[in-house]
Structure formats: structure tokens, C-alpha cells
């Protein structure tokens, strides 16, 4: 923090001194700024000499008069303070800019945007929302940026229906080829889908499965393979007693190419528990494995074969898979199977740990790890960026 303060102070001193020099050279500068400059400037140095860096920053900021040349410096300074967590001071700087009457409409919009960002950082969502809605109406150039920030406001407050409307506005803007609409952040199509799934989950908590279904089906509008919506529909079908329909949704998940995870196998096992015939689960697992030869699926299918037939059948199957899909987890399971039942040596415990599905989940975007899937990363707040670590089909060389 001390190094950051020193750098910030240096930049401020240079900015103020630079502005003052320009003014003395006869370039444009407002009279008030010219009159105030020396006293505020030296007051800042006094604070600095007394070791009061925070007060020194405030004094230099006041010394930096507001005009066309220094507006960007003020905005940048407020932004730096906001990123350092000093939101109150950022708000003070940006509100001080608004008090100046000579700002052009474009500059006024720029300052409103910064102030809205400050309000979001401070958790003052109502005030941010009002500013952003006005910006969206009044500034075609900042419309897409304002809508992106509105999404932050609605996500933070879990106002999912408002978030859906805003995501649709962004989709419409991207269709009109506004490059900023698609420029930063995640795709508005993907965000809309997650907001609808959030609404569906709220409906399921309220035991309104009919509304939940509508939200899930709406979520599939842009991507019929969406994993979250398909899992939701399969669960909703199970709740309503229709395992056949649940299996149809699961078949779409299988064909979509998304990696198999323990939670998907749990869902499949619940679906098949309601199906006619004892081998329904292993039959679907077999087809799943043919589409996606992952160790997790091979081991699950082997456990089913052992339950239905015997251990020899399970071992034969695992050995066959190794030819085309070498895997440490599968080879370890075979070694473990060869150990005598009464063996209680440490190597058994180590081998057992290797075959258990404890790989967990990790975020592709920020590296956050955990033992369960989050649809929104708790670390970086990205949607659907968390993936199962045990999904690599061939892990023999890992």
C-alpha cells in the first residue's frame, strides 16, 4: 500500500505541476483553478512531510483543477482509488466533477458511468441502477456498457427477471452490430440461459414445477444442449414421476459431449432406478462409455458388471478398455482387484484412494477448486467456468 501511495502521489504531483506550468504559459485553464493551485499544492507537500499520505493525496487532488485537460486524470484517479477499495474517496472525486458546470454532455456521461461503477463497488445498487438506466437511455455510445453494468447490479441482488430483460437488450444490441454489446464479459446468450435457470430453481423451491419447466425450456432457446437446463428438466421430470422423459433429457446430455461427472452419474442412477429391468443402468452406462471413454464411466460400469455378474467379468471389461484408453485409475482398480481380500497393508489404502473419485472441480478462469460444481464460480463470478477434474479420458501419462 505504501508503494502504491508513493506512485499515486508522484503522478498527482506531476499532474498538478504540469497543469500549473501550462496555465502559466497562457494555455486554457479556469481562473479558480489558477488561483487555488499554489496553496493546495504546498499544503499537499506539508502533509507529505508529516507522513500523512492519505491527506496529501486529497490535497493534491483538490489542487488539480478541473478542465478539459485534467478531466481524464480525475477520472483515472477515482478509478484507481475505487480499485484500491477506497470507494468513498472515488465517489467524492467523481461527484466533485459533476459540480462543475462546464462539462460537455459526453464528459457528463463519462463521469456518470464512473460514479455508477463506484456505487456498484460500494453496494449502493439502487443509485447505480438509476444512473445506468439514464445512461442507457441518453448515450447510444455507452448503452451497451451501461447494460453490462446493469447485469452486475441485478446479479448482485438476484433480480433474475430484470437480468433476463437486460441480457435480451444486449442480444438485440449485438444483432444491431454494436461491437461493445458482445465486446466484454460472457456472451449475453449464455448469461440469459443461466438467469432463466436461476428463476427455474426459485420456482422449484416454491414447488411450482410448471413455471420451472417453462423457464428451463426458455433457457434452451439459444442452445438446446445446455447442461444446466437439461439437468434441471431431468430432475423436474423425475419429481413428476416421469423417468422416461427424464431419460430423454439425459440422452441429450450424453450426446452433447459435456464431460461425465459424479453428479451426472448420480442423476442417471436415479433415473434408471425407476426404469423397468434390472440392467437399465448398465445398458445406458455402456452406451455412455462408447460415446465418452472416460475412466469414471469405465469404473462405474465395472462396478455394475460386478454386481450383475461377478468380479471376473468386471476385470475383463476394465482390461479391454486399457488397450484403447490407457488410464492410471483403471489400471489401479485392476491391481486392487488382484490383491487378496484379507490384505490390509498400506498399499491397499493408497490404491483405494487412487480409484476413488475425489478429483473435485476447478474453475478454468481463476483456478478456484472445490468438491462440488457451482454454476457460478465463487472466486471470479464467471458462469459455468467450473469443470470436473477427473474428466480427462486418458490420464495414464498425467
The contact set with Zn ion (CB under 5 A) reads: 363, 365-366, 368, 377, 379-380
Q: If you ran DSSP here, which 8-state letter would residue 73 be given?
A: H
CA dihedral sign, ordered 36, 37, 42, 44 = positive
Pairing of strands 369-370, 386-388: unpaired
Q: Taking the complex as a whole, how short is the minimal distance between the CB of residue 360 and Zn ion, in angstroms?
A: 14
For Zn ion, the closer of residues 60 and 361 by Cβ is 361
For Zn ion, the closer of residues 259 and 354 by Cβ is 259
For Zn ion, the closer of residues 84 and 365 by Cβ is 365
Cβ–Cβ < 8 Å for 13, 57: no
For Zn ion, the closer of residues 103 and 366 by Cβ is 366
Q: Taking the complex as a whole, how short is the minimal distance between the CB of residue 365 and Zn ion, in angstroms?
A: 4
Q: Taking the complex as a whole, how short is the minimal distance between the CB of residue 361 and Zn ion, in angstroms?
A: 11
| Kind plus residue range of the DSSP H or E element containing 352 | helix 346-355
For Zn ion, the closer of residues 17 and 362 by Cβ is 362
Q: Taking the complex as a whole, how short is the minimal distance between the CB of residue 38 and Zn ion, in angstroms?
A: 49
For Zn ion, the closer of residues 366 and 391 by Cβ is 366
Q: Taking the complex as a whole, how short is the minimal distance between the CB of residue 385 and Zn ion, in angstroms?
A: 5
Backbone angles phi, psi at 140, to 5 degrees: -60, -35
Alpha helices in 158-208 (DSSP H): 160-175, 179-183, 188-205
Q: Taking the complex as a whole, how short is the minimal distance between the CB of residue 264 and Zn ion, in angstroms?
A: 21
| Kind plus residue range of the DSSP H or E element containing 362 | strand 361-363
Residue with cell 462408447: 290
For Zn ion, the closer of residues 125 and 368 by Cβ is 368
Per-position b or e across 62-90, b if 16+ CB within 10 A of its CB:
bbbbbbebbbebbbebbbbbbeeebbebb
Cβ–Cβ < 8 Å for 268, 281: yes
Q: Taking the complex as a whole, how short is the minimal distance between the CB of residue 284 and Zn ion, in angstroms?
A: 32
Amino acid at each position: 500500500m505504501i508503494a502504491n501511495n508513493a506512485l499515486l502521489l508522484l503522478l498527482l504531483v506531476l499532474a498538478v505541476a504540469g497543469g500549473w506550468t501550462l496555465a502559466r504559459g497562457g494555455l486554457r485553464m479556469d481562473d479558480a483553478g489558477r488561483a487555488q493551485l499554489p496553496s493546495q499544492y504546498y499544503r499537499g507537500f506539508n502533509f507529505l512531510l508529516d507522513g500523512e499520505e492519505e491527506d496529501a493525496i486529497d490535497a493534491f487532488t483538490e489542487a488539480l483543477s478541473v478542465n478539459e485537460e485534467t478531466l481524464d486524470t480525475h477520472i483515472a484517479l477515482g478509478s484507481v482509488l475505487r480499485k484500491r477499495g477506497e470507494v468513498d474517496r472515488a465517489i467524492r472525486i467523481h461527484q466533485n466533477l459533476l459540480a462543475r458546470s462546464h462539462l460537455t454532455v459526453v464528459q457528463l456521461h463519462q463521469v456518470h458511468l464512473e460514479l455508477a461503477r463506484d456505487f456498484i463497488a460500494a453496494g449502493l445498487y439502487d443509485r447505480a441502477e438509476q444512473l445506468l438506466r439514464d445512461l442507457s437511455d441518453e448515450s447510444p455510445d455507452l448503452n451497451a456498457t451501461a447494460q453490462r453494468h446493469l447485469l452486475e447490479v441485478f446479479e448482485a441482488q438476484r433480480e433474475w427477471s430484470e437480468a433476463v430483460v437486460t441480457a435480451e437488450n444486449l442480444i438485440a444490441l449485438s444483432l444491431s452490430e454494436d461491437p461493445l454489446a458482445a465486446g466484454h464479459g460472457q456472451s449475453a446468450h449464455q448469461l440469459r440461459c443461466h438467469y432463466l435457470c436461476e428463476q427455474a430453481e426459485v420456482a422449484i423451491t416454491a414447488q411450482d414445477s410448471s413455471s420451472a419447466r417453462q423457464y428451463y425450456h426458455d433457457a434452451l432457446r439459444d442452445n438446446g444442449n445446455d447442461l444446466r437446463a437439461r439437468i434441471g428438466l431431468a430432475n423436474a421430470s423425475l419429481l413428476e414421476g416421469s423417468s422416461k422423459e427424464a431419460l430423454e433429457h439425459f440422452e441429450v446430455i450424453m450426446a452433447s459431449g459435456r464431460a461425465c461427472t459424479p453428479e451426472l452419474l448420480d442423476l442417471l442412477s436415479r433415473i434408471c432406478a425407476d426404469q423397468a429391468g434390472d440392467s437399465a443402468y448398465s445398458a445406458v452406462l455402456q452406451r455412455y462409455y462408447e460415446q465418452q471413454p472416460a475412466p469414471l464411466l469405465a469404473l462405474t460400469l465395472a462396478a455394475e458388471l460386478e454386481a450383475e455378474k461377478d468380479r471376473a467379468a468386471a476385470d475383463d471389461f476394465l482390461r479391454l478398455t486399457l488397450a484403447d484408453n490407457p488410464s492410471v485409475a483403471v489400471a489401479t482398480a485392476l491391481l486392487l482387484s488382484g490383491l487378496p481380500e484379507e490384505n490390509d497393508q498400506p498399499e491397499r489404502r493408497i490404491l483405494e484412494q487412487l480409484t476413488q473419485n475425489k478429483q473435485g472441480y476447478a474453475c478454468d478462469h481463476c483456478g478456484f477448486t472445490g468438491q462440488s460444481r457451482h454454476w457460478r464460480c465463487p472466486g471470479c463470478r464467471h458462469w459455468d467456468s467450473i469443470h470436473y477434474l477427473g474428466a480427462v479420458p486418458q490420464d495414464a501419462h498425467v
